[in-house]
Amino acid sequence: MIKYNSTRNNALSLSGAEAILQGLSTEGGLLVPDSIPLVGTDDIQNLLKMSYAERSAYICSLFLTDYSREELLAMTNAAYGAEKFDVNGSIGTATENFAAPLYKVKDNTYVCELWHGPTAAFKDIALQMLPRFMSAALTKTGAKDDVLILVATSGDTGKAALEGFCDVDRCKIQVFYPKDGVSDVQKLQMTSQAGQNVGVSAILGNFDDAQTGVKNIFGDKGFAKELSARGTALSSANSINWGRLLPQIVYYFSAYCDLVNDGEIAPGDKLDFCVPTGNFGNILAGYYARKMGLPVRRLICASNRNDVLTEFFATGVYNRNREFFTTESPSMDILVSSNLERLLYHEIGDAQKIAELMAQLSQDGKYTVPDGVMDSVRGIFTGGTYSDESGREVIADLWYSDGYLIDTHTAVAYGVLEQKREAEGEAFPTVVLSTASPYKFCGAVLSAVTGGTDFTETDGVELIDALYGKTRAPVPRPLAGLAEREVRFPGVVTAAEMKDEVRRLAERV
């Protein structure tokens, strides 16, 4: 039986359903499992024969001990079926693994494509599951209030959450995105969202402003009371929710299994994963997989010019007091990687200490992790940074040498991997996690493959056709025809007006 406690309060003991509904602990900590289930060699032998949906139900059931295996399998079958995930958009060698197919670039270099879902980015993998976890959790806990999901997004989360929660019973969802911090494609995907239970608003500010605004609303007890009187409880779908992290652990196992099945590695061999990182959710799932026993040698944490994590792994100092850059990989433009708190909790094992570090972060904008802890962390993680300019070169190189097109986020990871390999003089078997279809970031990708002209993400969604004309790479199903879609949510608000937007949605019937 696995219970959930808080990174800042060990005395908590929530069931899986409660943890998923609650999202965040009341004192501000993140919810974490109180033990880590182990997956042995025999279990991996079993996983080899399973479909992605079966692998997912298996892994999820180890952590959500208050959900039955059958219940979870029904959810994963619905979440990852051919109706939701479409490998025909794949540029690589699509397998029957719909949710996370692998592409072999060359010996020891594989790309796991996590973007075949409804929004063409990796967050679909988790956000097709979270609403199903939540719906079931409302019943399991006998909750009286309906749920209103609040999301601050730097682009991809917002649309993926909207798709996941659209018209889900007893759920509403309000998404806030930074007005100038997302691509045209992302913006139109969100502002054209269907559904009676959804709200979408642009914020004057950057992603951190949006996230801070959402955190403030969650911390506002008076507002919670006001909403509760209307039968509504706030919850989160951001990558701090355990129900977001859990489904992401699966593709680490699945990629490993697929490589064994393809004869690329032998059972028991070690693998590296290289992950384009923002809020530290994706790569943290790899940390859990490794803790569970998956033979992962190390996790390479790739950052863009917002290199706060690269510095952290090098120095042990997390310092958000720095210039914020808007880059061509906007989903990684983050100064406070919230999920890092979970890593620190597992490595330090002392909720009191974590509470202190996080208080320092909010007061001084920085904290320092003791050397002994960093030694252990560095045994698992290494960080690296890649610029927009170099990222474009990687995109062009891969396209012209291998006919394989990647997006700007994946390019950061691929570039960091090459950098590491050059410095270390070896090419250890590595899976690069590919987090978005190149068609989600057409401006930068088109600029990269054409070389001369500078297209930007605000040149409009017509660039999808232009990129297709240039590369003939298949356009993912959810992005085809986007240009014709009607804008339902044109609104722009200040951070101070965010609460009114939530109130308005709560009142909507």
Ligand X SMILES: *Cc1c(COP(=O)(O)O)cnc(C)c1O
Contacts with ligand X, residue ranges (CB under 6 A): 121-123, 156, 239, 276-282, 331-332, 409, 435-436
Nearest residue (CB) to ligand X, 136 versus 210? 210
Give the shortest CB-334-to-ligand X separation in angstroms: 7
Give the shortest CB-409-to-ligand X separation in angstroms: 4
Strands 366-368 and 317-319, bridge-based pairing: antiparallel
Q: Are 428 and 272 in contact (CB under 8 A)?
A: yes
**What is the separation, in whole angstroms, between the first and last Cα of the chain?**
39
Give the shortest CB-154-to-ligand X separation in angstroms: 7
Across the chain, which distance is largest between two alpha carbons, in Å? 63
Give the shortest CB-425-to-ligand X separation in angstroms: 28
Q: Are 270 and 306 in contact (CB under 8 A)?
A: no
Give the shortest CB-295-to-ligand X separation in angstroms: 22
Nearest residue (CB) to ligand X, 286 versus 474? 286
Beta-bridge mates of residue 171: 147
Neighbours of 31 (CB within 10 A): 25
Nearest residue (CB) to ligand X, 109 versus 239? 239
What b-and-e string marks burial along 446-459, b requiring 16 or more CB atoms within 10 Å of the CB? bbbbeeeeebebeb
Nearest to 247 by CA among 237, 257, 260: 237
The answer for residues whose C-beta is within 8 angstroms of residue 215's C-beta and 6 or more apart is: none
Give the shortest CB-41-to-ligand X separation in angstroms: 29
Q: Is the dihedral of CA 133, 99, 253, 337 positive or negative?
A: negative
Neighbours of 468 (CB within 10 A): 17
Give the shortest CB-149-to-ligand X separation in angstroms: 17
Nearest residue (CB) to ligand X, 67 versus 176? 176
Nearest residue (CB) to ligand X, 15 versus 279? 279
Nearest residue (CB) to ligand X, 172 versus 440? 440
Nearest residue (CB) to ligand X, 351 versus 413? 413
